[in-house]
Amino acid sequence: MGCDGGTIPRRDELVRVKQKPEQKDKDAEREFRWLHCALTQQRLQEPIVMCTMGRLYSKQSVIERLLEKEKMPETSVHVRTMKDIKTLQLTANPAFTEEDKTEGLLDTRHAPYICKLIGLEMSGKFRFVALWSCGCVMSERALKQIKGSTASTCPLCQLPYSLEDVIVLNGNEEDLELMKVKCEMRAAKRKSAKKDKKESKKTETSVKSDPAAETTETVPTTVKEEQPSSSSSHKLKALANPKRLGAVNAMQDPEMKRLKTDFSVAKDPKASDVYKSLFTSHKTDKEQERAHWITYNPFYN
């Protein structure tokens, strides 16, 4: 049976070869991610939102899932409240028609949204990013080109943003790891901002309730009512200026008073005779015949 008439069997007919697993169509997978909700797997409906990982959702489906408190899928476990999603500001593609809504590859039809800056279609062929601060969507190429001039403001709405606010939409595994780090950075920044607000409120309340401020305001009024004498007014002025207080004390020092008068060591009864002989005012220096060793008293003729 068989193999008659000089037929030669091939190897694949005699040996059973292990079948290769079915491979996903990359274009179909890309089309599905950019046109369908990551939560319900249904077609995206406006308003469209994104999570911190850059996945796209229909806002209505996310709200319904949160209200029903159903368990989120593994890819969306991090979405717990409405604070974990951001509404996107998308630009409609004027070339998109009803015929483009039919199932098929993106190579043969237009995407529903485009980059407002350079006109690239948001079909998955080009990398798109969104800003968490304002929700504006643009291509990564456009953001890199404009970043040199306006690095801290959104090129579409002119609102400020930081590095951790740039979210890659439908990114790869490396992008997902980077998005996790950026999410932690934003959470840390929010905590520090809350701490700063609490500290500023505490300082404001402490300043308002501080009695020292009230006493400082009432002191000058009491001084005016009492009308102090000249000596007390000098004391108050000295207290107001610490440098002046030191000068007043120095002027009242007896040593300063002695320096201001015509004081002589020879006339000081408390000084000893040996101490007085050190100065030129002593009688031994006045009665000497030769000149003093310093040119203070040269005995000129």
Out of 125-129, 169-173, 219-223, 260-264, pick the least confident: 219-223
219 occurs within a structural domain: no
The answer to whether residues 197 and 189 touch, using CB atoms and an 8 Å cutoff, is no
Identify whether residues 179 and 63 lie together within a single domain.
Answer: yes
What CATH number has the domain bearing residue 134? 3.30.40.10
Is 294 inside a domain boundary? no
Confidence at residue 73, expressed as pLDDT on a 0 to 100 scale = 85
**How do strand 85-87 and strand 91-92 relate by DSSP bridges?**
unpaired
Tell me which H or E stretch contains 174: helix 173-209
Domain boundary among 169, 191, 213: 191
Q: Do 91 and 235 reside in the same domain of the chain?
A: no
Residues 275 and 134 in one domain: no
DSSP string covering 185-248: HHHHHHHHHHHHHHHHHHHHHHHHH-HHHHHHHHHHHHHHHH---HHHHHHHHHHH-HHHHHHH
Higher pLDDT, 258 or 58: 58
Q: Rounded mean pLDDT of 210-220?
A: 49
User: 284: buried, middle or exposed (CB in 10 Å: 19+, 13-18, 0-12)?
Assistant: exposed
232 plus 167 within the same structural domain: no
Among 144, 165, 191, the domain boundary falls at 191
Assess whether 136 and 65 both reside in one domain: yes
Asked whether residue 38 falls in the same domain as residue 153, the answer is yes
Same domain, 36 and 121: yes
Q: Is residue 213 part of a domain?
A: no
Per-residue confidence (pLDDT) for residue 146, from 0 to 100 = 82
Looking at residue 149, its pLDDT comes to 47
Q: Which two tokens stand for residue 93?
A: 């593609």
Do residue 172 and residue 239 come from a single domain? Answer: no
Q: Which domain holds residue 141?
A: 26-97+104-191
pLDDT-derived band at 29 (thresholds 50, 70, 90) equals confident
Whether 10 is in a domain gets the answer no
User: How many separate domains does the chain show?
Assistant: 2
pTM of structure: 0.57
The reply to whether 222 falls in a domain is no
114 and 55 housed in the same domain: yes
Per the CB < 8 A criterion, the answer to whether 16 and 33 are in contact is no
Assigned domain for 146 exists: yes
**Per-residue confidence at 298, pLDDT binned at 50, 70, 90?**
low
Residues 146 and 40 in one domain: yes
pLDDT of 163 over the 50 cut: yes
Can you tell me whether residue 169 is helix, strand or coil? coil
Residues 179, 87: one domain?
Answer: yes
Examine the domain organization and report whether 35 and 181 are in the same domain: yes
Q: Mean pLDDT over residues 258-273, rounded?
A: 67
**Residue 37 located in a structural domain:** yes
Q: Please report whether residue 88 resides in a domain.
A: yes
Which range of 26-30, 88-92, 142-146 scores highest in mean pLDDT? It is: 88-92
Closest by Cα among 38, 50, 63 to 135: 50
